[in-house]
Amino acid sequence: MALSGVEIFKLLPKTNCKKCGHPTCLAFAMKLAQRQATLDACPDVSDEAKRVLGEASAPPVRPITFGSGDKAVKMGEETVLFRHEKKFVNPCAFAVEVKDTLSESEITKKIEDVLASEIDRVGQKLRIDAIAITNASGDKGKFEAAAKLVSSKAPNTPVILSTTDTAAAEAAIKLFSGKRPILYGANSSNADAMANIAKTEKAILGVTAHGLEDLSNLTEKIKALGVEDMVIDAGSVKAKDILGNNTLIRRAATKKNFKPLGYPVINFVQRDDTLLELLVAGIAVTKYSSVIVLSSIEKWKNLVLFTLRQNIYTDPQVPMQVEQKIYNIGEPKPESPLMITTNFSLTYFIVSGEVENSKVPSRLAVMDCEGLSVLTAWAAGKFTATKIAQFITESGIEKDISHKELIIPGYVAILSGSIEDKLEGWKVTVGPREANGLPAFLKARAA
C-alpha cells in the first residue's frame, strides 16, 4: 500500500537540511506521498529507508518493455487517473490481428501494411506497433507457420502470440527468443504451464479472466510462480466493459496501490464494422489501455487513432513547442523569402510542411511565444510588433539575406504597419491567413 506523508517522514533523516529543494523533511515527505518528488533528491536517506520507500514509491502500474530494439514499446509506469494531475507516461501500442486461418498471401499483406504504417506527425514517428498472431485454427502447426512468416518478414516488430494451447505457445514462442513477445492466453486452467513458458522465454504473460476479482486472484498466483511482467485483460469485450473495467483497474492501481491489478491493460476491440471498431478503440485509447488489438489497419483509421493517442499522451501542462530560431527550408539563397510564425509545434510543422510543398526555398523565422499559436499569441501580447522587431534584429538574419522583407501571417495583418515602424528599412508583406495558402502565395511570387 502507498505510504502516507507522515509515514514517509518517519523514514527520512529529519535534519531539514534543504538539500532536496524543500524547506523541511516533512514538506519533502508530503511531495513524495503525492508522487510529485522522487527519493533521489535527498542525498542523505539511509539504505533501509531507500528499500522501504523504493518499494512504496514504485509506479503503481508496472513498467514493462514490450518487444526489443528500435521498435520496442514501453508500457505502464502510469501514476495518475487524470491527465490534469500529471501527464500519462507511455502511449498505448496498437497491434493488428493476424489469424493463423488466413492464407500466406493474406498474412503477408497484413505484415506489409504494418511495416508501411509509419507516418510523421508534428515531428513524431507514429505507427502500428505490433502484430497479434491468433491461434484461431486451434492447430499448433498452423499457428507456428503463421508465427514463422511474421518472424521472417517483420523480425523487428513486437509480437503478441495469442493462444490458450500451451503446446502451440511453446512451439511458436521459440521463434521470438530474446524479443520480449507477449504470450497472451494465460487463464485459470493453464496458468501454471503458461507461466513456465513465459518464465523460460522471458516473455510478458497476457493474463485473461472473467471480471476483476478472478483477474486479481490469477495475477497473484502467477506472480507467486515467478512471473513479474504481465499484461491483463478482465475479459472486456463490450465498449461499456472496456470503459468500466479499465477505469476500475487504473483506479485500484493508482489510488489504492493495489498491486494485483498494477499491470498494463490489453484490450481486444475487433469488430466486423470497422467504424465501430474505431470508436471502441478510441475508448480504449482514452481510458487506460496499454495495448489495443485491431482487426484491420486502414490508413484513415490509423490517422484517427494516432492523432487521438498523441493528444492523450501529450502533457497538457506543457505546450508543445519548437526551438526559437530561423529555419532554412530547402536551400534558401540570399534573395529567398523570409516568413515569421510562432513556436507552437503544430503551427511550425504545418507551416513548414506547406512551405516545403511550395518547393520555393525559404527561411522561416520561428519566434518563442511559449508554444502558443499565432492568434492566441497575438491576443496574449506575445506576438507583438515590438517583440517581432526585436527577434528579427537580434537574430542577425540581415547579414544572410539580400532584402529586407518580412512575410507575416494573414491573421495578424493588423501588425504590418507597426512592425515597419519598429524595423527600420523593412517592408512587411501580409501572407495568407491559413498555411495551406502558402504554396500558391510563394509560387506566385517566385514566378
Residues that bind ligand SF4 (CB under 6 A): 12-13, 15-20, 22, 25, 28, 42, 44
Q: Which three cell numbers stand for residue 419?
A: 512592425
CB of 430 to ligand SF4, least distance (A): 55
- Please say which residue, 14 or 238, places its beta carbon nearer to ligand SF4: 14
CB of 46 to ligand SF4, least distance (A): 11
Best CA proximity match to 438, nearest among 396, 402, 409, 398: 409
**Rounded to a whole number, what is the distance in angstroms from the first to the last CA of the chain?**
70
DSSP 3-state of 375: helix
Calpha distance 181→175 (Å, rounded): 10
- Please say which residue, 18 or 109, places its beta carbon nearer to ligand SF4: 18
- Please say which residue, 19 or 333, places its beta carbon nearer to ligand SF4: 19
CB of 79 to ligand SF4, least distance (A): 20
Number of Cβ within 10 Å of residue 411's Cβ equals 17
CB of 26 to ligand SF4, least distance (A): 8
CB of 1 to ligand SF4, least distance (A): 22
- Please say which residue, 13 or 319, places its beta carbon nearer to ligand SF4: 13
Strand ranges inside 171-303, DSSP E: 182-186, 204-208, 230-233, 265-268, 289-294
CB of 23 to ligand SF4, least distance (A): 8
Q: At what angle do helices 166-173 and 191-201 cross, to 10 degrees?
A: 10
- Please say which residue, 12 or 291, places its beta carbon nearer to ligand SF4: 12
CB of 194 to ligand SF4, least distance (A): 44
Calpha distance 12→82 (Å, rounded): 29
CB of 28 to ligand SF4, least distance (A): 4
- Please say which residue, 14 or 121, places its beta carbon nearer to ligand SF4: 14
- Please say which residue, 17 or 276, places its beta carbon nearer to ligand SF4: 17
Q: Are 190 and 164 in contact (CB under 8 A)?
A: yes
Q: Are 89 and 97 in contact (CB under 8 A)?
A: no
Q: Are 349 and 123 in contact (CB under 8 A)?
A: yes
CB of 51 to ligand SF4, least distance (A): 16
Calpha distance 48→262 (Å, rounded): 24
Q: Which three cell numbers stand for residue 433?
A: 491567413
User: 44 vs 10, 28, 35, 41, CA distance in Å?
Assistant: 14, 13, 19, 9
- Please say which residue, 13 or 244, places its beta carbon nearer to ligand SF4: 13
- Please say which residue, 13 or 59, places its beta carbon nearer to ligand SF4: 13
Calpha distance 165→148 (Å, rounded): 17
Q: Are 159 and 134 in contact (CB under 8 A)?
A: no
In the chain, helix, strand, coil percent, each to 5?
45, 15, 35
- Cell 519598429 belongs to residue: 422
Residues 6 or more apart whose CB falls under 8 angstroms from that of 390 comprise none
CB of 34 to ligand SF4, least distance (A): 15
Dihedrals φ, ψ of 267, to 5°?
Answer: -125, 140
CB of 38 to ligand SF4, least distance (A): 12
- Please say which residue, 25 or 392, places its beta carbon nearer to ligand SF4: 25
- Cell 493488428 belongs to residue: 96
Q: Are 100 and 106 in contact (CB under 8 A)?
A: no
- Please say which residue, 22 or 180, places its beta carbon nearer to ligand SF4: 22
